[in-house]
Chain A
């Protein structure tokens, strides 16, 4: 689960990481009031109005404005709120801005980068620090990997003060900034562990002229598997950031991701679901979606998944590719039949079944009287689905 910048900063602030003075605003009026309050508190006319969406690259897309005074802040808010912000992470369709963060302007001396991530290879939580703040870390990794310093943290002890100092002293910031940076790094690790994060990224982490160290941005992703031990998480979710179909699928217990093609897919297992999209593409087709009905899908879930696929108007054919392990083929067949009988079907349907109770599943489909094209195997099914989506007979 992704958090907005202002939510991430709330978590950081609670853990002792300094963040700029700021207020969240959901309307132009609230933004104006927020600017007034921030200026009042900081005695500084310069404020920054920042779009809050679940994507990076907001500045380049016009979603961040540095302004002077309340009137200018209001004007910036009018411009940004409601705009469709397109960045390299949103895709061409962009994201509508529904909330803003209004923050104090700061006198920045240096921009750094810091993040905390789980490292698969080292099987540790790793702290990453770079002198190159403000640009994408992937870019830094490509161009000057020597400027990225990492430290893997032993879970049994947590991040110890000397480990933070080892990282911080490498940057040559002088005092008091280095000492402050080391404390910030430790706090970032504490947030990661305490909140069960998947990512804590501060880019840039800034050093002010006076030597203070602040998180100017905050990108925090939470580990969904740990949601059960954080009862307050639901309040942090922003349903407007999610594709409503994908959210509905998740609520029904399966995972669906819309793609841009015209062949709907229903598969069990994430790996096979990806492979099914790949084979469609391999044969010249375009998948309309990724859909993993999961291992132990019920008949109702299968029917639900079917409806979700059909809700996409671009779908011209459906390919059901099931290798029944835990999910039994007869259960799948019953779900497909129920869904087709209930909702009707306007496009050709290709079903490939293999695995547990496959004979019963095939028999059920054959006896249903529905017009279903049988895929003899994965390849045959994919070829037929591609042909049918093109309006050719299989």
Chain B
């Protein structure tokens, strides 16, 4: 089992004819992903590598091919529009690889996605990968192996490192999600933890955070209340100097909040096995798995915190109608404690 994407996922690539888009489309196909369509305005009617039909619009691509997931490589200036186009065309999951999108664009488009009940991963992220089934994004496929550990991370290469460590220990993954490092994006730790907790194919979760923001603290609060599966974590940036920007827009420490030490403390207090050594993410998870028995699988335990239907059921059904049920629509009270009206930074 897995979350978000699986062997039935039908992917459309927005920006398929660009440099990064074409390279990674080939990689995704080689991995076994069902890439059913590409979109580049003005190139509709052609075929990418003589096999993937290219359309001028996402609406057309969806109508012709039944694509349900989009992977976006469009340049930053046009990216918010591309995301909105995917949502309007009925895409259920938008994976945005593009780096460098203005924050105000993301604020506006995220509002739109929430309204339409469309999920987003990214931007500025490696994407989502369910080992052996489907890769949507740019993660190197071969480091993964199928299994029962979920991975969620704000980083790119550090995620590959963690997955590599797991695989080297013989621990496979259910699904790996890079949520991206930008201040405003799509799925966050709490969303991913909700899905992993509800996924019968996931036994434990690796969480990789970094300095800046309060996403890890909110994850800790959520884990304490709602997650029964073991969680292992690493937080990057213990040595980062305050106030310096470390590449990711998200990695800014200002004042007392956003520091690695505070995040580590919050996660430990919630029962998460946090390692201070990034080379020991794999063994930390292994130890956490060994220390705690596999969770009891009561249906009500899974549903109580989730509040959202698992999207892969809709995908497995393979029906357009199933997509009408917005998978990420937030039911009232689904996350009572994680959205406090606290100070704005």
A interface residues with partner B (beta carbon < 8 Å): 89, 117-126, 128, 136-138, 141-142, 145, 148, 150, 152, 154-156, 193, 196, 198, 223, 225-226, 228-229, 255, 257, 259, 267-282, 287, 290, 292, 295-296, 323-326, 354-356, 377-379, 382
Contacts and interface: CB of A to CB of B under 8 A. Distances in A.
Contacts of A257: 241, 244-246
Given A225-B249, A271-B181, A274-B239, A150 B160 contact: no
Contact of A274 (B101, B110, B251, B254): B251
A277 B214 contact: no
A355 B101 contact: no
Contacts of A324: 140
State the 9 A-B residue pairs at the shortest beta-carbon distance, nearest first.
Answer: A271-B155, A270-B247, A269-B157, A379-B279, A138-B255, A271-B158, A226-B102, A126-B344, A275-B278
B325 interface: no
**Size range of the chain B interface in the assembly:** 35 or more
Interface in B234-274: 234, 236-241, 243-251, 254-256
B276 to A, nearest CB: 6
Contacts of A126: 344
Given A196-B103, A325-B138, 17 more contacts: A89-B243, A118-B103, A123-B107, A123-B184, A126-B344, A155-B107, A155-B108, A226-B102, A259-B241, A272-B236, A272-B278, A274-B240, A275-B161, A278-B237, A278-B239, A290-B246, A379-B280
B297 interface: no
A271 to B, nearest CB: 2
Interface of B: 20, 76-77, 100-105, 107-108, 110-111, 126, 138-140, 143, 153-161, 164, 181, 183-184, 208, 210-211, 213-215, 218, 234, 236-241, 243-251, 254-256, 276-280, 339, 341-345
Contacts of B214: 120-121
B256 A292 contact: no
30 contacts: A117-B344, A118-B104, A120-B183, A121-B342, A122-B339, A123-B111, A128-B344, A136-B255, A138-B254, A141-B255, A142-B256, A150-B341, A196-B103, A225-B102, A228-B76, A257-B246, A259-B239, A268-B157, A269-B157, A270-B248, A271-B153, A272-B156, A274-B246, A277-B240, A278-B237, A281-B239, A290-B246, A292-B247, A295-B156, A378-B278
Contacts of A326: 20, 138
A126 B107 CA distance: 11
A275 B234 contact: yes
Nearest to A142: B256
Chain B interface helix/strand/loop/mixed? loop
A271 B344 contact: no
A152 B339 CA distance: 13
Interface of A is mostly: mixed
A273 B156 contact: no
A148 B343 contact: yes
Given A223-B102, A281-B238, A272 B158 contact: yes
Contacts of A355: 140, 143, 160
Nearest to B242: A89
Contact of B247 (A117, A193, A255, A279): A255
Given A274-B239, A292-B247, A325-B126, A118 B159 contact: no
B111 A155 contact: yes
A379 B236 CA distance: 15
A296 B143 CA distance: 19
Contacts of B164: 323, 354
Contacts of B104: 118, 125, 155, 193, 196, 223, 226
A329 to B, nearest CB: 11
A156 B156 CA distance: 32
Contacts of A377: 279
A84 B96 CA distance: 45
Most buried by A among B103, B143, B256: B103
Nearest to A124: B107
A76 B250 CA distance: 40
Contact of B161 (A193, A281, A323): A323
A223 B103 contact: yes
Nearest to A255: B247
* Interface hub of B76, B126, B237, B280 (most chain A Cβ within 10 A): B237
Contact of A271 (B139, B154, B256): B154
Contact of B236 (A142, A156, A229, A278): A278
Given A270-B181, A271-B158, A274-B237, A120 B215 contact: yes
